[in-house]
Structure 1
């Protein structure tokens, strides 16, 4: 599943140029400390390396994203195919509507040095630095950027770049997540309409397999 490869194994990082703009690391620190829940629409563009004599393959999908610290998040893919990924704090659920198939994994075994950890899990910058080497990246497109490189070399994730929109008078908002894996595949998630600290109950991250669905444990 495309999302699984890029956001879980790659998909919880969810979480300056002058006096007005903060640095990327400062924006990340403020985001982790201040934004306890979040909600946004997203568009994901996955680009695979070109094979010999061929052009790169590009796939685009879109949907909604929300999270609640610690350890809860949900991606609902609407286009081109309906898929749902839910982390409820204990279990990671992946539901493919077309196949009517649910895959479950123990959340603690599949998250950690992943983009999801950066966005939605860690309580502070120190916790993130246990799993990632974090550095400021050059400002681009009016955003402040952080480069996160996993300290563990065992996974498929090579690096993540996180772009924030922030000023000295505003809470940083997550704008872009760029994920590069060890196979050269690049996934760019762009977020729109980001809501800071909306009221989200724990029930929003509960998942029950639909009637008749095949449930596979991994």
Structure 2
């Protein structure tokens, strides 16, 4: 599994990419008939956003073993289409994933280590493309097979299956509640499930490209891949 994807699926290690927070400025839309309609509206109308998130990662259960323990993390997510986003994990460990339009920066505060990779070589058919970098369904359809999934938990769902089998991402489900992105659920090729629950999305955050600039902290080990 590529490091980018595996760490995105593991809260304690943090690599990957996803988004939402607001009060009076919360972005909501009228109820739609299905998840694909909600996804299309989200891609078209939410050009930027900021939100809190909670992520729960559950390893696969192996035959003859006790049910594995899930791990929970939380933080904030920001994005500015078409090429910038930031995941900032605050608990239980501080870590960041920052896409500045050219480079994907991965910062582990405990290790004081920064990994830098060319953004265009890393993102591809990842969850970040679904919620932060794609601009419309046409762009996504080249990377994923998209289909409506049955409504559940008060949400309209979209199932996204990567067309490329080069990575280890098996599938992604996106849940919308009253037109707002509420859940991102990822299943990797090893059976590990990662579920992100988003708070309300603030689409009036006034984010600018410079907000996503990243400078490695003094003394941090820098690895370029």
| TM-score, L = length of structure 2 | 0.87
Q: Corresponding residue for 1:80?
A: 92
Q: Corresponding residue for 1:214?
A: 221
Alpha-carbon deviations, 1:130-185, whole Å to 9, x = none? 0100000111122111000000011100000001123xxxxx32110000000000
What pairs with 1:1-218 in structure 2 (closer than 5 Å)?
4-5=5-6, 7=8, 11=16, 20-51=31-62, 52-166=64-178, 172-218=179-225
Q: Aligned with 1:55: secondary structure?
A: coil
Total equivalences in the alignment: 210
Native 8 Å contact 2:50 2:78 kept in 1: yes
Alpha-carbon deviations, 1:12-59, whole Å to 9, x = none? 7879xxx95331001001110100001100000000012442321311
In structure 2, what is the Cα distance between the partners aligned to 1:205 and 1:8?
22
Unpaired runs of at least 5, structure 2: 21-29
Unpaired runs of at least 5, structure 1: 167-171
In structure 2, what is the Cα distance between the partners aligned to 1:116 and 1:181?
15
Distance 1:6 1:173, change over 3 A: farther
Q: Which has the higher strand share?
A: 1
Native 8 Å contact 1:91 1:105 kept in 2: yes
| TM-score, L = length of structure 1 | 0.89
Q: Aligned with 2:184: secondary structure?
A: strand
Q: CA deviation at 1:187?
A: 0.2
Alpha-carbon deviations, 1:98-124, whole Å to 9, x = none? 111000111001111010001011121
Q: CA RMSD in A?
A: 2.4
